[in-house]
Chain A
C-alpha cells in the first residue's frame, strides 16, 4: 500500500501541469463549497440567534388579559419566568414589551413601537455587542437608557428622529395604551439614535424595561410576554415549548372578598361562575326562580345572606381588595339567588365571571391564601361552571394556526387571562423557510459545479490511462495485480482531490476573512437584515468542512472508478504492444 501511495504521488508529480490544472479546478470547487456553506451557516446563525430571538424568541410565552390582545400581562404570575429559566436547554428568558404608540415631536407625529429593554439585567459583553450589532448606534449607547439625570431616556431610529425633527437631548411625547387599556402620555428624552439595519427596525422606540413597566402600569409581579433563547434551538424549541405548555395547566381561581350591606359586613371567598347561555340555564336550576345569571350578580349561601340581611334582588357591595393605585376595589352586585354550597365551600360567594375576573385583574397581588380550597370543594357541584385562573390556548402547529389563534385570543369570549406557548417554527416559519431555501440553493449550485469539475477529472484520467498504457503493461508484467492497478489510479485521484480540497479550504478561509472585512451600506439595503454591522457573516464549522472535504474526495474517487477499472482490465501483453 505504501508503495502504491508512493507511485501515486510520483505519478502526480510527473504530470505537474495537468495535476495542477485539475487540482486548481477541484480546489476552486471546494473553496466555493466551503465558502457557500459557511455563508449559509452565517445567515442561519444571524436569523436564528439575532433576528429570531428579537422577533419571536426560539420559544415564546404569549399572555393577555381577558381577550384584550394589547394588554400583555398576566397579573401576579411573574414566578413563571424563574421556573422557565431553570428548564433544561434554556439559555436566556427575556421579558418582552412592545406597544404601539404615537410618537409626537415638536411639529410632527409618527407611529412607533415602544419596546422595553432590560438594561438592569446582567447583560454579558456578548449580549450587549449583539444588541448594538442589531441596532448600530449613530449617537449615544444603549446603556444611556439607564441614565437618571433625564426623564424617561429613550432611543429612536435615525429616520424616525429626522422625521420628527429630534436630535439627541431633545424631549418628546408618546401616547400609548397601558396594560389596563387606559390612554397614557409619556414624556421622553432622546439619549440615543440608532441606524436601523432594515425597514422593519425603523419602528422600535426603546426605553428601559423598568420605565416601560412603570409607563404601562405593570409591576414586578406581572408576567409579560417571554421570549426564550435556547441551546440548539432547531432541536429544543418544541421540546421546551411542550414542557412550558404543561406548566400552564389551568386551575381554579378564587378571590378573598368582603361583602357589605349597610353596616353588616361578611368576609368570604369569591369564585367566578360563567355566564354564557348554558351556564345561565344551569345556574337557574341551582338558584331557583331568582334573578337571571347575567351582568354583575352574585349568589350567596343562605347563612351569609341572613348575616348581611339581604334577599334576592337586593344589592350588596363587594370589596375585593386594594388596587395597585391604592384605591379600594369595590363593586355593587345584585343578589341573584341563594345557593346550597357543598361541604368545604360554606364561605364561598359565586360571582359572575366577568366582574370576578376584572376585580381579580385589578387588585394588588397578594401572597395570602386566596381560599382556593373552597373553590375546589365547590367544583364537585359546579365543575365546568367555575371560572379558571387562566385559559390555555392549544399549541399552534403552523403559522396559519397562530393567525387563527390570534383571532381567537382577540375574540370577546375570553373572560379569564389567556396564555399561549409557541415556537419559532410557528411564529418564524418564514425565516426558517428562508434558511432552508438558502441551504438548498447552495447544495444544488455546488452539485452542478462539481458535475462540471468531475467531468474534467474523468476526462483527465482517461487520457492518463491512455498515455500510460504501456507503463501499466510493464507493471502488470512485473507482477502487479489488476486490483492494485485500479487502486493506484484511485489513489492518484484521491490524493489529488485531498490536496486540492485542503488548498480549497485554505482559500475559502482566506476569502471569508477578506469578504468579512468589506463594509456594505445598511441604509436602503434589502439584505441588510443578514449583515452584522454592515459586514457579511461566515460561520465555518469544523465538522461540516471535514464532511465537505470527504465529499470532494469521495466524488473524485467515484468519478475515477471507471477509468481506473478500465486500466486494471488491460492484459499485460496488449498493454505492452500499445502504441500511441
Chain B
C-alpha cells in the first residue's frame, strides 16, 4: 500500500513549467525542477482513496482525510472508511509521529522504520527530504548523465536515471520519466542496490494546487510480488490556512466519536 502522504511528498513532483531546458536535457535541472514542487507553501486538505490489490486476495479500499501543514512539518490522517478502520489515524507534529487506535483510544509512537498500517510506507517516509539531497543523476563511463528521450503512453518524456547519494534511502537507484512538455513526472521505477526492479509508479491527472502540480491519480505496481498494485486517488483538494487545532491529538481523537 502506498501511503497518501508518501504519495504527495515523494511524487508530488512537479515543476516550474518555466524551467525550460535546452536542447540537451540536464539531469540536475530536471531533479531541481521536480524538487521545487515538493514543499507546499500553504496548508492543504484533501480526501484520499487508496485501493490495494493483492494477488489472489482481491481489492481492499481505504479512505481518509489528509491535512498537511508544511510550515511546521505537521500532518494528520484521519481514516474514514472502511468501518473497521474508521476513527483510526496518524498525527505528526514536528519530530513526533503517532498512530491513534480507536478501539484502545491510545496514541502510540511510530518508529522511524516501522511499517505504517501494514503497508510498505514507513515512519521515515514522512520525514521530508529534498530530492537533490537523496539522489543525483547517474552517469555513464564517460561521465555523461544518463538522460535520454523516451515515451510513456505515447507522451514524449525524458528518461532520467538517478542514484542515491546517501545510503539511507529506500531505493538506491531510480529511473524517472519526466514529460518533456511540462517536466511533470509520468512514471518512475525503483531498483534495489543489486539492480532488481522493485516498484513502478505511474502519475496522471495533474491538477494545479497552490501553484504546484499534484498528481491526482497514482498507480504503484509491485514488481516483486506480481499482481500487487496500489491505486491512490486524491480528490477535493482545498488550499488555505487550516484550523491549528486539527493538528492535535484531541482533534484526531474526536474524529473517532
Contacts and interface: CB of A to CB of B under 8 A. Distances in A.
A binds B: yes
B97 A180 contact: no
A106 to B, nearest CB: 10
Interface stretch (A409-417, A463-471, A486-494, A568-576): A409-417
Interface stretch (A30-38, A68-76, A373-381, A391-399): A68-76
B112 A182 contact: no
Interface in A55-95: 67-71
Interface in A345-363: 358, 361-362
Which of the four size classes fits the interface of chain A?
20 to 34
Given A102-B225, A173-B224, A358-B166, A184 B193 contact: yes
Contacts of B169: 181-182
A185 B109 contact: no
Contacts of A109: 55, 225, 228
B168 A180 contact: yes
| Residues of B contacting A: mostly | loop
Q: Interface residue tally of chain B, by bracket?
A: 20 to 34
B167 interface: yes
B168 A182 contact: yes
A183 B170 contact: yes
B225 A104 contact: yes
Given A181-B124, A181-B168, A183-B198, A69 B192 contact: no
Contacts of B228: 109
A107 B170 contact: no
A267 interface: no
B76 to A, nearest CB: 18
Contacts of A177: 113
Interface in B105-131: 109-114, 120, 124
Given A69-B114, A410-B114, A412-B96, A182 B109 contact: no
Given A182-B171, A358-B166, A412 B95 contact: yes
B196 interface: yes
A175 to B, nearest CB: 5
B56 to A, nearest CB: 6
Given A358-B166, A412-B96, A181 B113 contact: yes
Max chain B C-beta neighbours (<10 A), residue from A173, A323, A358, A411:
A411
B113 A180 contact: no
A2 interface: no
Contact of B167 (A108, A182, A410, A411): A182
A180 B167 contact: yes
Given A181-B168, A182-B193, A185-B192, A69 B113 contact: yes
B194 interface: yes
B172 interface: yes
Nearest to B111: A410
B114 A108 contact: no
Given A362-B166, A412-B97, A413-B95, A182 B124 contact: no
A183 B166 contact: no
Interface string B79-96: 000000000000000011
A68 B113 contact: yes
B225 A175 contact: yes
Contact of B56 (A108, A182, A412): A108
Nearest to B120: A183
A410 B192 contact: no
B130 to A, nearest CB: 11
Contacts of A185: 192, 194, 196, 198, 224
Interface of A: 67-71, 102, 104, 107-109, 173, 175, 177-178, 180-185, 217, 323, 325, 358, 361-362, 407, 410-413
21 contacts: A68-B113, A69-B113, A173-B224, A177-B113, A178-B193, A180-B167, A181-B168, A182-B192, A182-B193, A183-B170, A184-B192, A184-B193, A184-B194, A185-B198, A362-B166, A362-B167, A407-B109, A410-B110, A410-B111, A410-B114, A413-B95
Given A184-B194, A217-B193, A411-B111, 4 more contacts: A109-B228, A180-B168, A182-B167, A412-B95
